[in-house]
């Protein structure tokens, strides 16, 4: 059996393109936002080809809208499939959320109610996406600001059921667990203990900001201590798993992100030692 990929990576962002291409950066993989490269041609596609020649690449999407009650966008899937075929990525992921309904696209990761009906919808959409892409997808747990009631299950039970029904994997965003737990008052440890550990293929680590009423998943801060603690808690339960720092705004110099990735590596080593 081939061991799952378990390296340490970064989200590839524009300010760092040159550094990634001019010298070998000390990462095991990079993750790119799929939609940024789902264009016809030009510099973005050339950059991606060159990056792919140097690093394994994960494709992370924001526009599949897996929770749409009126199904997926076939044109989107076809475009993503073409990119998947070209890049041959480590992972293809998107979010447990929805963006599009009745031809309207919010371009935001909107929350779902965790009901049996929503489970049916999302499971059908994931199955269709996996068929269209010809491969397993990873589903990322979202940061949420709304807890729709009544719910039939917790978010982690919802994810577990999706994995069982579709065979999908999970992209566990630990910052998102922390943000949602803070906003809705659940125990993040219960969440991390409740997800199907064997299905977690990738981890996101990121930071957040305090909004006027709720924590906001801004991805513009270093990974904070509570998120590192949750990472250290869950890692022994998961075993080796691909981990990356995800920064989307207020992008710092690359060496700062690499230093954060160094923390993740140390926590992983410590966790493995403790588990051994």
Any contact of residue 185 with another protein (CB under 8 A)?
no
- The answer to whether the CB of 93 falls within 8 A of the CB of 60 is yes
CB of 28 to another protein, least distance (A): 29
Q: Which two tokens stand for residue 195?
A: 């997800």
By beta-carbon proximity to another protein, the closer residue of 54 and 146 is: 146
Three-state DSSP state, 96: coil
Interface with another protein, residue 134, by CB under 8 A: no
Q: Identify which of 144, 58, 165 has the alpha carbon closest to the alpha carbon of residue 97.
A: 144
Report if residue 187 touches another protein, rule: CB under 8 A: no
Among 1, 2, 42, 134, binds another protein (CB under 8 A): 42
**19 contributes a contact to another protein by CB under 8 A:** no
Binding residue for another protein, selected from 1, 2, 23, 41, defined by CB under 8 A = 41
Q: What is the C-alpha to C-alpha distance for residues 244 and 265, in angstroms, rounded to an integer?
A: 10
Task: Check: CB of residue 276 under 8 Å from CB of residue 235.
Answer: no
Residue 189: both structure tokens together: 């440890």
The residue among 11 and 67 lying less far from another protein, judged by its C-beta, is: 67
Return the closest-CA partner of residue 167 out of 194, 114, 130.
130
Binding another protein (rule: CB under 8 A), the pick from 10, 30, 57, 118 is: 118
Q: How far is the CB of 252 from another protein (least distance, A)?
A: 20
Record the tokens describing residue 185, joined without a space. Answer: 């008052």
Give the residue, chosen from 23, 24, 53, 103, that forms a contact with another protein under the rule CB under 8 A: 103
Under rule CB under 8 A, residue 63 binds another protein: yes
Of 70 and 256, the one with the shorter C-beta distance to another protein is: 70
Q: How far is the CB of 64 from another protein (least distance, A)?
A: 8
Torsion angles phi and psi, residue 142, rounded to 5: -90, 160
**Binding test (CB under 8 A) with another protein, winner from 18, 78, 146, 164:** 146
Judged by CB under 8 A, the chain residues 234 through 273 that form the site for another protein are none
Residues in the interface with another protein (CB under 8 A) total 48
Neighbours of 41 (CB within 10 A): 7
Interface residue with another protein, options 4, 6, 45, 157 (CB under 8 A): 45
Q: How many residues are given for the chain? A: 276
Single out the residue of 55, 76, 156, 178 in contact with another protein (rule: CB under 8 A): 76
**Alpha helices per DSSP H over the chain:** 17-22, 43-54, 74-87, 116-133, 155-166, 174-184, 188-194, 225-238, 254-275
Among 56, 89, 111, 271, binds another protein (CB under 8 A): 111
DSSP 122-164: HHHHHHHHHHHHTS--EEEPPP-S---SS-SS-HHHHHHHHHH
Interacting residues toward another protein by CB under 8 A: 35, 38-46, 63, 65, 67-70, 73, 75-76, 98, 100-108, 110-113, 115, 117-118, 121, 144-149, 183, 211, 213-214, 216
């Amino acid at each position: 059996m081939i061991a799952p990929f378990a390296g340490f990576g970064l989200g590839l962002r524009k300010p760092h393109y040159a550094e990634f291409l001019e010298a070998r950066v000390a990462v095991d993989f990079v993750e790119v936002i799929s939609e940024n490269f789902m264009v016809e041609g030009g510099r973005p596609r050339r950059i991606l080809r060159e990056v792919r020649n140097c690093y394994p690449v994960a494709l992370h999407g924001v526009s599949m809208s897996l929770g749409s009650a009126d199904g997926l966008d076939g044109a989107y899937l076809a475009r993503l499939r073409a990119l998947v075929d070209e890049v041959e990525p480590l992972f293809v992921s998107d979010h447990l959320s929805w963006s599009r309904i009745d031809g309207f696209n919010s371009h935001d990761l909107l929350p779902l109610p965790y009901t049996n009906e929503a489970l049916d919808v999302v499971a059908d959409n994931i199955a269709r996406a996996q068929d269209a892409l010809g491969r397993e997808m990873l589903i990322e747990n979202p940061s949420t600001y709304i807890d729709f009631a009544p719910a039939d299950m917790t978010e982690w039970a919802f994810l577990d059921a999706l994995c069982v029904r579709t065979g999908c994997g999970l992209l566990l965003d630990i910052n998102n667990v922390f943000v949602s737990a803070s906003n809705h008052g659940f125990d993040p440890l219960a969440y991390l203990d409740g997800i199907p550990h064997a299905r977690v293929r990738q981890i996101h680590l990121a930071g957040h900001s305090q909004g006027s009423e709720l924590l906001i998943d801004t991805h513009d801060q270093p990974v904070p201590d509570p998120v590192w603690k949750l990472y250290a808690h869950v890692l022994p339960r998961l075993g080796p798993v691909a981990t990356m720092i995800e920064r989307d705004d207020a992008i710092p110099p690359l060496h700062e992100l690499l230093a954060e990735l160094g923390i993740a590596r140390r926590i992983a080593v410590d966790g493995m030692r403790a588990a051994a």
